[in-house]
Amino acid sequence: MRGLLKATVLGWLLVFCGGQAQATDDATAAKALLEKALAYYHEHGDKAFAAFSRQGEFVDKDRYVFVVDTKGVMLASGGPSSALIGRDVSEVLGPDLQKAFKDALKIPEGNGIQQAEYRWQNWADGKVERKHVYYQRVGERILAVGYYLPRASAEQAKALLDKAATELVKDEKGTLMAINSLKGGFLQDDLYVFVVDLDTRRYVAHGTTLRLINTDFGKVKDPDGKPVGEPILALMATQDQGEYEYRWKNPVTAKVEDKHAYLRKVGHFLVAVGYYSP
C-alpha cells in the first residue's frame, strides 16, 4: 500500500505544491497548516474552498492548501495551481500515474494524515527537486499541503565526507563496497562520495556512476572540456585536504551545475564529496 500511495501522491502533486525553506520548520508548518485546513473543512464542508483559494489564513509563506476530488478535479488552491480550479487535473498525468491514481482511490479512507516524498519540477526555479507532502482524504475530497525540500548544504557535504573518511579507515573494503552499492548510506539526494586511489590515479568507488570505477581520474573533464581530475590531483599532491570548484551533472536535476567539492586524503586514497550551488 505504501508504494501505491507514494505513486499516487506523485501523480496528484506534480503541479500543485510549492515552497522552499528549512526542512524541519517547513515540515512542522506544512503539517500544522493541513491540520488547520482539515478542522475548518470538517466544520464548513465545501464552503471552505473559498477560504482555501484566497490569500489569507490558509496560505503560509510558500505553503498553501489545495483540494482535489476523487475524479481528479481541482476544487481549491491558495497557490499557482488556482488557475486549474474546476479542471480535471488528472489529464496532465501520464498513463502510468493515471492508473496508479485510480487504483489508490479504491483504498478506504480513514487512515489519517499520510505523507510522501518524490521529485518534480519546482515552478519557482524550473529545477527538479525533492518534495514532501502531507495529505488526507475526507470523503470524496483530498486535502493537501506540500513543500520543496532544500538542497544539500555545505555542512551536510562535510558531514558525509567525515563519515566516509572515518569508515574507510575502519573498514576499507567494506566502505568501498558500501559506496558502490548505492545503498550503503553514502548517497544522500544530490550528495554522493567518490574515491580515487592516488597510487593508480583511478576511481575505486563512486556513489552514482559505477562505470567510472577503474577509469583514469586524471583524464576527467567537465562537460565543457575543462580539466577536473588533473587539477585536483595536483592540489592533493601538496596537501592532505582541500576544496575545488567545477561544473558537473547533478544526479537529481540531471542538469550541469556549479559544484563545490571537499577533498581529503585517507591513506593512499582521495575521498571527495561535493554540493551543488543554488
| Arithmetic mean of pLDDT, 129-144 | 82
- Which H, E and C letters describe 223-273, residue by residue? CCCCECHHHHHHHHCCCCEEEEEEEEECCCCCCEEEEEEEEEEECCEEEEE
Average pLDDT, the chain: 82
Highest mean pLDDT among 167-171, 179-183, 274-278: 167-171
More confident residue, 269 or 66: 269
Nearest CA-CA partner of 150 in 45, 278, 10: 278
Residue entry with cell 557535504: 157
d(CA 16, CA 263): 39
CATH number assigned to the domain with residue range 154-276, chosen from the 4 options 3.50.50.60, 3.30.450.20, 3.40.50.1000, 3.10.270.10: 3.30.450.20
pLDDT of residue 198: 97
Residues paired with residue 197 on neighbouring β-strands, in sequence order:
202, 269
d(CA 18, CA 16): 7
> Is 90 exceeded by the pLDDT of residue 134?
no
pLDDT of residue 15: 30
Which of 42-56, 74-88, 155-169 is predicted with the least confidence, judged by mean pLDDT?
Answer: 74-88
CATH number assigned to the domain with residue range 2-148, chosen from the 4 options 3.20.20, 1.10.10, 1.25.40, 3.30.450: 3.30.450
pLDDT of residue 113: 84
| Arithmetic mean of pLDDT, 161-187 | 92
| Arithmetic mean of pLDDT, 116-123 | 60
Indicate the domain borders of the chain. 2-148, 154-276
Q: Report the b/e string of 86-108 with b at 16+ CB within 10 A.
A: eeebbeebeeebeebbeebeeee
pLDDT of residue 258: 92
The percent of the chain in helix, strand and coil, each rounded to the nearest 5, is 35, 30, 30
2-148 matches 154-276 in fold? yes
> Is 60 exceeded by the pLDDT of residue 6?
no
From residue 161, give the alpha-carbon distance in Å to each of 36, 133, 187. 41, 30, 11
| Arithmetic mean of pLDDT, 162-189 | 91
124 — pLDDT class (breaks 50, 70, 90): low
Angle between helices 2-13 and 95-104 (to 10 degrees): 120
What proportion of the chain, given as a percentage, has pLDDT over 70? 77
Condensed to tens digits (0 to 9), the pLDDT of residues 179-225 reads 998 777 898 878 999 999 999 999 999 998 899 999 999 999 999 99
pLDDT of residue 19: 30
> Is 80 exceeded by the pLDDT of residue 123?
no
| Arithmetic mean of pLDDT, 118-124 | 59
Condensed to tens digits (0 to 9), the pLDDT of residues 10-42 reads 333 333 333 333 456 888 999 999 999 999 999
- C-alpha cell, 263: 577533498
